[in-house]
């Protein structure tokens, strides 16, 4: 029905796509009483399930979960026949849903949107189709799917082949009969792995061209999983709700077993259970740390490789099928039915393109560097321009005529994966920056549709016409999406998640990996906070509550949640002895920190008695002298000891290549101000005098400390300068206490909820120094003379009450002519940067600190 119209049709909303998301969106918009037109280039509903008709196409999420949940009646009327339904059954389900909900009258098929323009004065979108139609609408909603734009076959000579050519993602409706044929399949992702065993059943000869072997586990398809059916029968609502608030959109019990520390028996048992279960979220949940810890990942990966070797008889072929170039899970793992077994068939051949790359497709077949192959048919299972391809292809241009393609030239930029600045009233369902492809799509689709519907309902009720994210909110979300990915192993892989499968596509992590539950929470909070980060306009209205919804590093937030759940008493409510005992217990559960060459304990003669120290020598030749760093632990002058900062000292030693000497100065309340500072100075003097014995290069001495330890380190520098020695090359101050003034904004912003609280800081000061002494430069070095001090590296954390005094010290040092490197630990708390092996996002900060320490000294 591509009738050209001279007068544009008008709708409240246009939705592009009639798959899972488009159909539900239509349903919800209708409920709001909006006029809606859905356009789809397919000939029927179904979206991805309309197009991907290749043999063996099935979902890889159990159908108990891969289903609409918004309408209990709809659920009652449909029963899936298998654990993983076939493409025809899923397509049938979507047809059933469209009919049952009466959606078809508002859907136009076989129409492709060619462009869309935002008309600012009219506050409307004008959409043009390939049939020459113009449609105007207030809201333009892309339900275009994440894996809907096939990647064009980027192989030399692809157009020349004279036989039949098939794309798994554009399979002919009449099917394909390969009986008696010589068939090539290029690509071994999910589509290839699902179709190869079935093509092998028909073909006379099947040759699989594999560039990258993929991890795949058996789907063990059959009846729907009994445990899920039982839970659904017991309480459907509870089950669906558990899915909505789960990490992946399928209810599972997330394990807390770590791969690195689990026994061999536990590892094997967990892996075999996941292998037998045949579910993606099961095999991704063998260990809690397999997505972030290379060693834990290797355990699962190697167990899968063992399975491949045990299935495929020819050791050479088995080895070629074993993935070794990426961590398990960093490329989408596959579920298969008899995939590896297929390579034992005599008429199936594997061509390893790493060994013999394709030179060209020819008229007769395929020519590799080593061989020429003749074929009757070539099947491209080469994947998609994922997540952005279909959105960009629809050629939308926003407020200033800038197209999405132009705006996203360096990678997609969205707020919540739902909208993008400059494109008012333009919504993306499961867009880049949302959990989408990393989750059960149906759960994520319903969440997005519900959020958009809620937003439009709110706008209607408030008489608003446009909504658009702010640049600040969008930049903040993009950062959060990348922060979440950065703590995982995902960015290391050349995956379509990273855009790496399409030549020239910018390399950024496309989906949101923080979890369906965390994401839903963020979206809900945005709405509850009056659409934080959005600008909303209407007649006589222009409102914007600007801000960033998630600024904290994701692993820091996890640590805070964990600590809150553990219900530890606030330290300031305890006696010093009890607080010390509690910290000692928590320290025992930490990872130990990196290996160093040697660790030895000793004592230093202090001003009144001996001070224990622990020396960390870097790995490498033991006889060589190194720069020396005197380190002072944190703990508010009350807590801490040689053990408390041990992982951090190891980390500093390993990263900087310096000998690190951690000194246990005297603590309050037993010994109050200025004992800690005087001890620190004495330790520095002693180290200078005994540098060679400690393995240090004479004259190459720096100080370092965290929190109160940074306070005494800073004071030691001032005392050394006053006493005209020893020479200190540099001072590393991590989240230092430099003042007792608690009125700076960081105290107001971060005084509660981030472990170091205002109340705890007061408790520390009260134990350490009388109010009259707190302005003394030996307690508050910010008040000292800063001229002639050693160069400094100061680390401040966003969520630290001490942040602003750290910045003030950096500025004051600079004003006094001291070179300063200010390192801002973005999204961190006072403690998180020091949590070696726990808070992965702290590693880049510590890398910078290590570099700064090295820079204090002349190059070796
Ligand atoms: P894919 O995972 O991107 O796999 C494409 C395959 O083609 C890869 O093996 C790739 O090799 C290869 N390839 C691409 N260009 C090539 C070239 N020029 N020369 C040689 N080989 C080339 O695509 P897909 O299999 O269609 O799957 C995409 C996603 O769709 C899946 O990850 C999944 O999320 C979804 N999907 C799901 C199911 C399901 O079970 N429900 C089924 C199908 C698809 P490289 O790895 O070396 O690039």
How many residues are there in the chain? 860
**3-state SS of 215-251?**
CEEECCCCCCCHHHHHHHHHCHHHHHHHHHCCCCCCC
The pLDDT of residue 609:
85
Contact 720, 726 (CB under 8 A): yes
For a pocket test of ligand 1, which of 187, 195, 356 has the largest count of ligand atoms closer than 8 A to its C-beta?
Answer: 187
Encode pLDDT of 602-633 as tens digits.
Answer: 999 877 889 999 999 999 876 789 999 999 99
- Regions of the chain where pLDDT drops below 50: 1-4
Q: How far is CA 439 from CA 62, 123, 241, 363, 434, in A?
A: 12, 34, 15, 41, 10
For a pocket test of ligand 1, which of 190, 221, 490 has the largest count of ligand atoms closer than 8 A to its C-beta?
Answer: 190
At residue 746's C-alpha, the angle toward residues 744 and 750, to 5°, is 135
Interhelix angle 471-486/554-566, rounded to 10 degrees, is 70
For a pocket test of ligand 1, which of 51, 65, 194, 211 has the largest count of ligand atoms closer than 8 A to its C-beta?
Answer: 211
Find the 730 Cα to ligand 1 centroid distance in Å.
Answer: 52
Query: Residue 616: how many CB atoms within 10 A of its CB?
Result: 24
Contact 782, 726 (CB under 8 A): no
Burial 319-329 (b: 16+ CB within 10 A, else e): ebbbbeebbbb
What does the alpha-carbon distance between residue 388 and residue 440 come to, in Å, rounded to a whole number?
A: 19
The pLDDT of residue 2:
47
Q: What is the CA radius of gyration of the chain?
A: 31
Decide whether any atom of ligand 1 lies within 6 Å of the 154 Cβ: yes
At residue 332's C-alpha, the angle toward residues 328 and 337, to 5°, is 95
Six token digits for residue 250: 């399928």
Indicate the burial class of 14 (C-beta count within 10 angstroms; 0-12, 13-18, 19 or more): buried
The pLDDT of residue 260:
87
Q: Cis (ω within 30 of 0) for the bond into 827?
A: no
Decide whether any atom of ligand 1 lies within 6 Å of the 62 Cβ: no
DSSP conformation class of 188:
-
> What element of type H or E holds 769?
none
Decide whether any atom of ligand 1 lies within 6 Å of the 496 Cβ: yes
What does the alpha-carbon distance between residue 505 and residue 496 come to, in Å, rounded to a whole number?
A: 10
Find the 146 Cα to ligand 1 centroid distance in Å.
Answer: 13
Residue nearest to atom 23 of ligand 1 (CA): 383
Residue whose C-alpha is closest to residue 37's, from 56, 9, 75, 58 = 9
Find the 645 Cα to ligand 1 centroid distance in Å.
Answer: 46
Q: How far is CA 844 from CA 797, 828, 839, 848, in A?
A: 13, 12, 11, 6
What does the alpha-carbon distance between residue 773 and residue 803 come to, in Å, rounded to a whole number?
A: 22
Find the 194 Cα to ligand 1 centroid distance in Å.
Answer: 11
Contact 611, 663 (CB under 8 A): yes
Query: Residue 2: how many CB atoms within 10 A of its CB?
Result: 12
DSSP string, 266-294: HHHHHHHHHHHHT-HHHHTTSSTTTTT-H
Do the strands 348-352 and 626-632 form a parallel or antiparallel pair, or are they unpaired? unpaired
- The partner residues of 206 in beta bridges, in order of sequence, read 183, 348
Q: How far is CA 241 from CA 97, 237, 280, 443, 520, in A?
A: 21, 6, 20, 10, 12
Find the 187 Cα to ligand 1 centroid distance in Å.
Answer: 6
Across the beta sheet with 348-352, the strand order is 164-167, 377-380, 182-186, 205-210, 348-352
Residue whose C-alpha is closest to residue 705's, from 602, 629, 614, 762 = 629
For a pocket test of ligand 1, which of 48, 191, 384 has the largest count of ligand atoms closer than 8 A to its C-beta?
Answer: 191
The pLDDT of residue 6:
64
Q: Is the pTM of this model over 0.85?
A: yes
For a pocket test of ligand 1, which of 284, 430, 501, 505 has the largest count of ligand atoms closer than 8 A to its C-beta?
Answer: 501
Residue nearest to atom 40 of ligand 1 (CA): 60
Find the 495 Cα to ligand 1 centroid distance in Å.
Answer: 9
Decide whether any atom of ligand 1 lies within 6 Å of the 384 Cβ: yes
3-state secondary structure of 314: coil
What does the alpha-carbon distance between residue 561 and residue 775 come to, in Å, rounded to a whole number?
A: 36
Contact 768, 718 (CB under 8 A): no
Decide whether any atom of ligand 1 lies within 6 Å of the 363 Cβ: no
Q: How far is CA 400 from CA 48, 406, 533, 682, 819, in A?
A: 32, 11, 20, 65, 44
What does the alpha-carbon distance between residue 15 and residue 144 come to, in Å, rounded to a whole number?
A: 9
What does the alpha-carbon distance between residue 483 and residue 497 come to, in Å, rounded to a whole number?
A: 15
Find the 195 Cα to ligand 1 centroid distance in Å.
Answer: 12
Decide whether any atom of ligand 1 lies within 6 Å of the 382 Cβ: yes
Find the 48 Cα to ligand 1 centroid distance in Å.
Answer: 14
Contact 853, 730 (CB under 8 A): yes
Encode pLDDT of 122-173 as tens digits.
Answer: 999 999 999 999 999 999 999 999 999 999 888 999 999 999 999 999 999 9
Decide whether any atom of ligand 1 lies within 6 Å of the 212 Cβ: yes
- The partner residues of 626 in beta bridges, in order of sequence, read 696
Q: How far is CA 331 from CA 334, 380, 498, 506, in A?
A: 9, 19, 9, 17
> What element of type H or E holds 793?
strand 791-799
Decide whether any atom of ligand 1 lies within 6 Å of the 436 Cβ: no
């Amino acid at each position: 029905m591509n009738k050209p119209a001279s007068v544009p049709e008008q709708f409240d909303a246009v939705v592009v796509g009639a798959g899972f998301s488009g159909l539900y969106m239509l349903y919800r918009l209708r409920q709001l009483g909006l006029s809606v037109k859905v356009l789809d280039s397919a000939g029927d509903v179904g979206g991805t399930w309309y197009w991907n008709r290749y043999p063996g196409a099935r979902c890889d999420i159990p159908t108990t979960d891969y289903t609409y949940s918004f309408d209990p009646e709809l659920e009652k009327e449909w029963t899936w026949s298998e654990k993983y339904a076939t493409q025809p059954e899923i397509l049938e389900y979507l047809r059933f849903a469209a009919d049952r909900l009466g959606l078809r009258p508002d859907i136009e098929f076989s129409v492709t949107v060619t462009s869309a323009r935002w008309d600012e004065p009219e506050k409307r979108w004008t959409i043009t189709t390939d049939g020459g139609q113009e449609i105007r609408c207030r809201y333009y909603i892309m339900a275009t799917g994440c894996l809907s734009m096939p990647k064009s076959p980027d192989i030399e000579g692809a157009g020349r082949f004279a036989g039949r050519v098939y794309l798994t993602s554009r399979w002919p409706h009449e099917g394909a009969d390969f009986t008696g044929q010589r068939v090539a399949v290029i690509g071994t992702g999910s589509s290839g792995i699902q179709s190869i065993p079935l093509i092998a059943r028909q073909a006379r000869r099947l040759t699989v061209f594999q560039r990258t072997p993929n991890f795949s586990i058996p789907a063990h398809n059959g009846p729907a999983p009994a445990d899920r059916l039982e839970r659904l029968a017991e309480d459907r609502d509870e089950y669906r709700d558990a899915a909505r608030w789960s990490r992946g959109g399928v209810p599972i019990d997330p394990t807390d077993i770590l791969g690195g520390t689990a026994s061999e028996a536990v590892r094997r048992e967990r892996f075999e259970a996941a292998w037998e279960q045949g579910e993606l979220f099961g095999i991704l949940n063998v260990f809690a740390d397999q997505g972030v810890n290379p060693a834990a990942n290797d355990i699962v990966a190697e167990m899968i490789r063992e399975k491949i070797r045990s299935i495929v008889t020819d050791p050479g072929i088995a080895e070629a099928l074993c993935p070794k170039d990426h961590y398990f899970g960093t490329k989408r793992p596959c579920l298969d039915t008899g995939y590896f077994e297929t390579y034992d068939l005599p008429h199936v051949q594997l061509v390893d393109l790493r060994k013999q790359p394709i030179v060209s497709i020819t008229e007769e077949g395929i020519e590799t560097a080593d061989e020429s192959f003749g074929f009757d048919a070539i099947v491209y299972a080469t994947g998609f321009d994922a997540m952005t391809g279909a959105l960009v292809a629809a050629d939308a241009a926003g407020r200033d005529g800038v197209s999405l393609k132009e705006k996203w030239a360096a990678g997609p930029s969205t707020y919540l994966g739902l909208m993008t600045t400059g494109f008012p009233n333009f919504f993306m369902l499961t867009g880049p920056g949302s959990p989408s492809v990393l989750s059960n799509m149906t759960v994520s689709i319903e969440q997005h549709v519900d959020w958009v519907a809620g937003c439009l309902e709110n706008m209607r009720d408030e008489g608003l016409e446009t909504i658009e994210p702010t640049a600040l909110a969008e930049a903040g979300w993009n950062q959060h999406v990348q922060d979440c990915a950065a703590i995982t192993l995902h960015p290391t892989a050349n995956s379509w998640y990273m855009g790496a499968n399409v030549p020239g596509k910018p390399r950024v992590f496309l989906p949101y990996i923080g979890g369906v539950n965390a994401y839903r929470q963020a979206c809900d909070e945005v709405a509850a906070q009056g659409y934080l980060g959005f600008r909303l306009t209407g007649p006589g209205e222009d409102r914007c509550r600007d801000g960033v919804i998630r600024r904290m590093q994701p692993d820091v937030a996890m640590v805070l949640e964990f600590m809150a759940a553990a219900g530890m008493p606030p330290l300031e409510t305890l006696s010093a002895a009890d607080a010390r005992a509690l910290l000692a217990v928590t320290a025992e559960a930490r990872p130990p920190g990196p290996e160093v060459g040697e660790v030895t304990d000793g004592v230093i003669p202090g001003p009144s008695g001996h001070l224990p120290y622990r020396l960390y020598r870097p790995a490498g030749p033991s006889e060589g002298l190194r720069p020396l760093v005197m380190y002072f632990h944190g703990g508010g002058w009350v807590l801490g000891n040689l053990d408390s900062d041990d992982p951090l000292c190891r980390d500093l030693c390993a990263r900087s290549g310096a000998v690190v000497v951690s000194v246990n100065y005297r603590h309050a309340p037993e010994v109050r101000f200025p004992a800690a500072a005087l001890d620190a100075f004495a330790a520095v003097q002693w180290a200078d005098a005994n540098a060679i014995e400690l393995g240090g290069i004479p004259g190459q001495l720096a100080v370092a400390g965290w929190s109160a330890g940074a306070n005494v380190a800073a004071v030691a520098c001032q005392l050394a300068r006053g006493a005209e020695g020893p020479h200190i090359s540099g001072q590393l101050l991590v989240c230092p206490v430099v003042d007792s003034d608690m009125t700076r904004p960081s105290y107001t912003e971060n005084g509660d909820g981030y472990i170091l609280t205002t109340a705890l800081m007061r408790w520390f000061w009260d134990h350490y120094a009388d109010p009259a002494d707190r302005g003394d430069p030996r307690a508050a070095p910010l008040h000292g003379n800063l001229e002639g001090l050693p160069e400094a590296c100061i680390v401040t954390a966003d969520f630290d009450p001490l942040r602003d005094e750290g910045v003030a010290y950096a500025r004051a040092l600079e004003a006094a002519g001291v070179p300063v490197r200010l390192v801002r630990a973005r999204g961190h708390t006072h403690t998180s940067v020091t949590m070696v092996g726990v808070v992965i996002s702290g590693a880049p900060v510590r890398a910078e600190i290590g570099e700064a320490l090295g820079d204090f000294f002349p190059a070796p």
